[in-house]
Amino acid sequence: MGRGAACPFCCVRRYTCALRVAAARKKNMDLMEKLVSLCKRRGYVFPSSEIYGGLNGCWDYGPLGVELKRNIKKAWWDDMISHHDETSAPSSAPGSFGMVGLDCSILMNPTVWQASGHVGGFNDPMVDCRETKSRYRADQLVVYRLLAADSVPAPLADEELLYAAPGEVGKTAEADLIEPHRKRAESLRKKLGELRLEPVVGALSDASLRARVLAPGAKAPGSLTAPRAFNLMFKTNVGAMEDNASIAYLRPETAQGIFVNFKSVCDTARVRIPFGIGQIGKAFRNEINPRNFTFRSREFEQMEIEFFCRPEEADDWYRYWRDRRFQWYVNLGLSTDRLHLREHDRDELAHYASGCADVEYAFPFGLSELEGIANRTDFDLRQHMDVSGKDLRYFDDQEPDADKRRYLPYVIEPSAGADRAALAFLCEAYCEDEVGGEARTVLKLHPRLAPIKVAVFPLVKKDGMPERALSLYRGLRTQFHAFYDEKGAIGRRYRRQDEAGTPFCVTVDGQTADDGTVTLRERDSCEQQRLPVDAIAGFLAERMA
């Protein structure tokens, strides 16, 4: 590319623009590659069944990964449910409320999914490329035309080619949309001069327009099929017979298990509205295009709350949960620069929802949803009441007005993904810096989330140091996930723990025998301090809070 030439796709001088976009994209993708590689190398995440070539959209958490994910789920469960005090209103809550948990089966009576609308409506539009054999979600393909930058909008010219590229209008950088068609764009630029890109909305549903669309990697236009609805639920059969009567589904969300147990919880748990029911568990979706590491998987875990309240109070509770859930990520270390709360426009809302916001995180591959918080009105309970014929209305025996005693509550649903949260915490934590002139990779995970909380080392393997270090390690292990290591130079042992995300290392050295103190090193600052051996457990407990 000639220095100083104009960029074919915008008005910025070409070399500046292309370099800037390419550099930013490369930096982000490099970060993602490095993170995926660290996850594999250090035992965070492995491709599922890798020795047989893996299974697309499925991942296994290794020894460190499982601890990270368990810590995320524990933090969620503790903060949302078990440590919740129902006797007083948390600051900024409209009032006090109760919280209980559930653990429902993954397989349920299939009528659940008819009532919820998943059998009829849990579809993504899918298109196939007959030439490259690739499959895309139609709503994640942008179709566009390339026009001279100074041209006025005009009808499509005869034989004009359209281009399709993975992405989303308004979200994906133009340079990325151009990338699969760069060569053609270059030759067009030679004819027309500077170019601009104009999205053609609805092109895939229109047969004549679709015939002009060049798919990514395809040589000729017209290779994409019309969009077809593709149901994302995994089907299976329960029992020995494989017929229609035995069909069951792997749940695509944990929420419905909560709705169908609403009455049982009300009857047994002495809960009063407002209250929430939380659940953590696996969910399965036959995603058309699993991608971005664990971000879009076919098997994943959700952490969902269905919060039941009086309809007239639902807006206040919606705002409370939206803001509280956003803050939860901040408290656990995600920076507010990378977090974004996106309130949905009215026309984006599901037909039953009266409010919805996404907590989004700036992943290296773009700003994407971590969690959704929705006001689902009384839609789900009403559906299950209508289809099951069971009265799911709540009875408030303390309501003085008899007409208001029995009603269907509204539901506020904060719905998070444990795997997406794990990925966001890993992306945020990944850091390369220099210590004492030496490069290091460090995972700056919040101490509550770090898989190993403390590593204990003897400085050298002699003079009673291993014995003292082992005794400290054995004492700490009963309270914290601790790790003992006596092999290699002390600097290398620190580096290994930095990369694993261990926030504290404690070293027993020659001075320990004299005055009973040890060196405590903090991962992020690398600062060291001497503390009495007996003070270590208290120090750690304080820092884990």
Q: Among 97, 408, 392, which residue's Cα sits nearest to residue 273?
A: 97
Is position 372 an interface residue for ligand GAP (rule: CB under 6 A)? Answer: yes
Is position 380 an interface residue for ligand GAP (rule: CB under 6 A)? Answer: no
Q: Pick the binder of ligand GAP from 189, 285, 468, 523 (CB under 6 A).
A: 285
Cα–Cα distance, 492 to 351 (Å, whole number):
57
Taking the least distance from each CB to ligand GAP, the nearer of 227 and 372 is: 372
Tokens of 283: 């969910």
Length of the chain: 545
Q: Are 327 and 93 in contact (CB under 8 A)?
A: no
Taking the least distance from each CB to ligand GAP, the nearer of 230 and 539 is: 230
- Is the preceding peptide bond at 274 cis, omega within 30 degrees of 0? yes
Q: Pick the binder of ligand GAP from 124, 253, 428, 485 (CB under 6 A).
A: 253
The DSSP-derived string for 51-82 is GGT--TT-EEE-HHHHHHHHHHHHHHHIIIII
Taking the least distance from each CB to ligand GAP, the nearer of 72 and 195 is: 72
Is position 369 an interface residue for ligand GAP (rule: CB under 6 A)? Answer: yes
Taking the least distance from each CB to ligand GAP, the nearer of 210 and 296 is: 296
Tokens of 95: 């009032």
Taking the least distance from each CB to ligand GAP, the nearer of 413 and 509 is: 413
Taking the least distance from each CB to ligand GAP, the nearer of 56 and 335 is: 56
Residue 302 Cβ vs ligand GAP, minimum distance, rounded to whole Å: 5
In DSSP terms, 127 is beta-bridged to 136
Is position 325 an interface residue for ligand GAP (rule: CB under 6 A)? Answer: no
Burial category of 206 from C-beta neighbours within 10 Å (exposed 0-12, middle 13-18, buried 19 and up): middle
Q: Among 271, 284, 279, 325, which residue's Cα sits nearest to residue 306?
A: 279
SS3 351: coil
Q: How many residues bind ligand GAP (CB under 6 A)?
A: 19
Residue 298 Cβ vs ligand GAP, minimum distance, rounded to whole Å: 7
Taking the least distance from each CB to ligand GAP, the nearer of 275 and 284 is: 284
Q: Pick the binder of ligand GAP from 416, 422, 472, 500 (CB under 6 A).
A: 416
Give 470's contacts (C-beta < 8 A, 6+ positions apart).
456, 484
Residue 18 Cβ vs ligand GAP, minimum distance, rounded to whole Å: 33
Q: Among 326, 360, 290, 374, which residue's Cα sits nearest to residue 48?
A: 290
Is position 69 an interface residue for ligand GAP (rule: CB under 6 A)? Answer: no
Restricting to residues 493-522, name those near ligand GAP by CB under 6 A. Answer: none
What residues line the site for ligand GAP (CB under 6 A)?
253, 255, 285, 287, 296-297, 300, 302, 304, 369-372, 413, 415-417, 419-420
